[in-house]
Structures are given as structure tokens and as C-alpha cells.
Amino acid sequence: MAYDYIITGAGPAGCVLASRLSEDPTVRVLLLEAGGGDWNPLFHMPAGFAKMTKGVASWGWETVPQKHMNGRVLRYTQAKVIGGGSSINAQLYTRGNAADYDLWASEDGCEGWDYRSILPYFKRAEDNQRFADDYHSYGGPLGVSMPVSALPICDAYIKAGQELGIPYNHDFNGKQQAGVGFYQLTQRNRRRSSASLAYLSPIKGRKNLTVRTGARVTRIVLEGMRAVGVEVVTERGSEIIRAEREVLVTSGAIGSPKLLLQSGIGPAEHLSAVGVKVQHDLQGVGSNLQDHLDLFVISECTGDHTYDGVAKLHRTVWAGLEYVLFRTGPVASSLFETGGFWYADPDARSPDIQFHLGLGSGIEAGVEKLKNAGVTLNSAYLHPRSRGTVRLRSADPSAPPLIDPNYWSDPHDLKMSLEGLRIAREIMQQDALKPFVMAERLPGPKVNTEQELFDYGCANAKTDHHPVGTCKMGTGADAVVGLDLKVRGLEGLRVCDSSVMPRVPSCNTNAPTIMVGEKGADIIRGLEPLPGAIFAHERNDIRPRARSDIR
């Protein structure tokens, strides 16, 4: 059977496209997902995130040795389940800074993707529990709500940030981004609101939408310079499925360039080197990889102030019952519900450090777990200058890709990352946290010099799971797609996911990826763009007046 549109991955953008395009009953849409369904209860319990970075529903990939980090190889969790990253992430709803998108337009040539132009698509997606103003809306598919299982240590952290000179902010997606406070979460009725649950579950009955799981797309089929379908591998073997209108690549910032390269679309010299026949020489495919690298402080608590103790069997059972019966307790927590944005560089255009307060130790894979209750404060530098690549390991589509974020290749990124870590350490030492925090265990009081902090970072840093940019949108010679998301030089083929972002937004990337899906759906359907946002007040971030203001 032929379809009008074939969508190559059921991540956040793919779910949005499947929902929006199938609103027209005359259009036949096929959504393909290599992973399985989200039937496991862990996908819907907010605290299920703790299991996800440890391998549940992921490809199991890792980076190549990072030459600027003492050869460190990092785990690189990429989702393999319907809903993609939105089904396994920590559910933080952040959109970034207005300056991010204005730079897309002014410096990256992405006219029409400035903040005023894209804000209406953020709002269209949103069903906000609390806010309805210039920046927020309700009634959309995506549930957005406040945390329900915050602990007293969360309030103490917010006070500690203010003691250090970082103001309280009730809405990181509103008039200003800078400050400390509670994150809003992609949850509805105290359950995860993934893109699958938000965009696909309500339309299960649409006869013109077919969703297939366990179907790995290995190649885009080209006839001349036009994409006419895809090759799919399932347990039953391989098959060719034709697309009458377009193939829409939505396999993520790693999966999308991998698929294009497997199809012979990319840098000719690389394709020839790994034995893939060159179909279309497009130099930018797989380049421009950007990601947020995370450094963390772990402190031991003075008592049972976080959720570490819930790991004991009897408490795990009780926590599960509490959630099933009342939708409260530890299971209703995303475990990272408090945080904020501030400046490592006081002269930065906008906040350049993001904090996540983790209600425990060893929450994510590869992070040390303390014997007693602990608390984690993550810090990530948001404006990386380093650029990496995604390349093929071989011509075999089943082979893992070569993922090289090239962390700290620009010395400025290292300098700012270590400064963010220092600020995180200072927050944890403020008076407001003294009743809760006994002592810093990582990096530990003996780690203080630049070299010691560098070595600690090399040994312990982790990805924040925010890769973007590998199928860059723009008008320059290195762009892979145009402003209409069409792959340059080919017909019938677009890319629509986080890989088209020319630079990484200053935030978690789930909400921006959903925005790309929403705007992309209108572009594909030929609809007029939504009217640009009109503000009662301009967005304007608080800034540190002097270096002493964050000390």
C-alpha cells in the first residue's frame, strides 16, 4: 500500500506531524517507529525516568573517545520507543531564551523562526495547568503542569540560590528566563504527557493514520533526485513502502543524519570511505552536532531528605501503592523538578548555565550513588561553541553510528563549564541548605584547582541528552534543509526534528522539538504561519550587576 506521507520516527516531532497531517481525512499517513509501544507502566510514571538512562527503551549507543576529555567515552542515551525522547526524559518543560531563536533568524539565516514567530506554535501545543498569558495557553495536546511531589529541600535550594544573588523566578518560559525556581513538567493528571500520549492516543481511531512499531527504516528510496519511499526492516524481513507526496525524516539529531547517510545523502568523501554509494553529495549532513554537557555536585544529606531511601524494598512497594491509589509520593516525582538559569559569563547574551536539582544520588546511569541519602545539583553550559559530527561506522545500517560531540574542543566551553560547576558548589554551601546538607562528596573538598576540576569533569561529565543541529536549517552552504525543511537538491524529502535546529536552545530540547513539529506541519500543509506574538511587556532577563552578585 502507498501512503501520501511516510514519517520515519515516532519521536516528539514525528508524533506531532502524524497528528496534524492526518487531520485531513483525504491524506494517508504512515508513522514508522523502530522501537516498541509505551505499554510498560514505567513510561507513564513520572519517576520512571530513573530507569530510562540505564538502558530501558534506548539504542545503547555511546560516543567515540573524546579527545579533549582525556579520551573519555560517554553513554549516549537515544530513545527507542514510541514517543521518542518525550517518553523517557525527565519531563522538564523549558523552551529556551528569546535570544536563541532571534539568533536563528539574524545570524543563521532562518527568517520566520525568530521568537515572535515561533511562540504561537509553543502555545498551540500547550495545555498549561497554571498559566494563560502572553507566553502560555491551554487546550492544546501537551499537558504542562506544576510538580506535585516537591520536598522541603527544594524550597531550601531556591532560598540558597537567592542567598547567592540569583532571583526567584516563577516561570522560566515567561517574561524572563534567569532565576531559580520550580520547573513546569510535561505531565497531565500526575502522569507523563509524552508526545505519544498527547498527540497519538487521542486519535487512535483515525483510519487514515497507520502507526507501525518495530519497523526500522534503513534507507530512503530515491528515483533520480526525488524521494519516493523507504526501505523498512521488521521481524518479517524487509520491504519497500512508497510515499506519493513526501518522506518526512524525524529520527532525531543522531538518527536523522544516520538515515540520510545510509541512503547515500551526505558528504561524498565519507560515504565513499565507508562503502555507501553516493546518491546526493550534501556536505552538511551529520555536521554541526551540538549538545549540553553536564557537570554535577553530589552532597550527602543530614537525614532522609531526598528519595534515595525509597530504593529499599518495603519503601518501593509502599511508594508504588501510594502512586496507584492517590497519584502522590515519590513515584509522582520526575526527580528533577527544581532548578534554574544563570550566568557563568556575566557578559553573556542571556543565561548560559542551567541547573537541575536531583532528589537523590545516582539517579542517572554512570552517576555515583551514596550509601546514605544524597542530593545532586547538575550544571550545564548552554551556549557551547564546540561542534561535532555523526558519521557511519560502516555501510551496515544496523551498525551503531560514530557519535562525536567533540566536547570542550573550544576552550571557552571548558572555562564556562567549570565556572558553572563552581556556582553549583556555592549554592549547595549556602545557609538555607545547611539543615539538609552534611557535606559535599563529589567533587569533594580536595578538588579545587583548575587541573583537579578538569580531571573531575573528564571522569564524571555526562550528556544532558540535548543533541541538535546535524541536519542544519538555513541558507548557507553548510545547510542541509531550507527554511521549508526540504532537503537541499532533492524533491519529496524533508527533515523535521531537533536535527534542523541551527544552534542548540538554552534549555531542555523536548518542547523546542515539539514546536518544530507544529510549525513544520503547517509548512508541509501549505498553511499560513500563525500570527506572530504580541507582548504586553517585552521579555527582558535579569542580569548580574557585577561578578560579586553571584558570589
Active site residues: 466
DSSP code at position 8: S
C-alpha to C-alpha distance for 382 and 196, rounded to whole angstroms: 28
Contact in structure between 83 and 12 (CB atoms under 8 Å) = yes
DSSP bridge pairs for 301: 437
Alpha-helical (H) ranges within 241-351 are 252-262, 268-274, 313-326
Enumerate residues 6+ apart whose C-beta is below 8 A from 308.
Answer: 360, 361, 362, 369, 370, 372, 373, 374
Contact in structure between 105 and 111 (CB atoms under 8 Å) = yes
Strands 280-281 and 265-266: parallel
Element (H, E) at 326: helix 313-326
C-alpha to C-alpha distance for 122 and 68, rounded to whole angstroms: 36
Q: Which residue has the cell 532528589?
A: 359
What is the number of other CB atoms lying within 10 angstroms of the CB of residue 402? 18
Largest CA distance in the chain: 69
Phi, psi of 495 (to 5 degrees): -120, 135
C-alpha to C-alpha distance for 47 and 363, rounded to whole angstroms: 10
Single-letter residue type at 409: S
Which candidate, 519, 495, 475, 521, places its Cα nearest to that of 257? 495
C-alpha to C-alpha distance for 465 and 84, rounded to whole angstroms: 12
| C-alpha cell belonging to residue 451 | 587541573
Q: Which residue has the cell 526524559?
A: 89
Enumerate residues 6+ apart whose C-beta is below 8 A from 367.
Answer: 296, 298, 361, 376, 460, 462
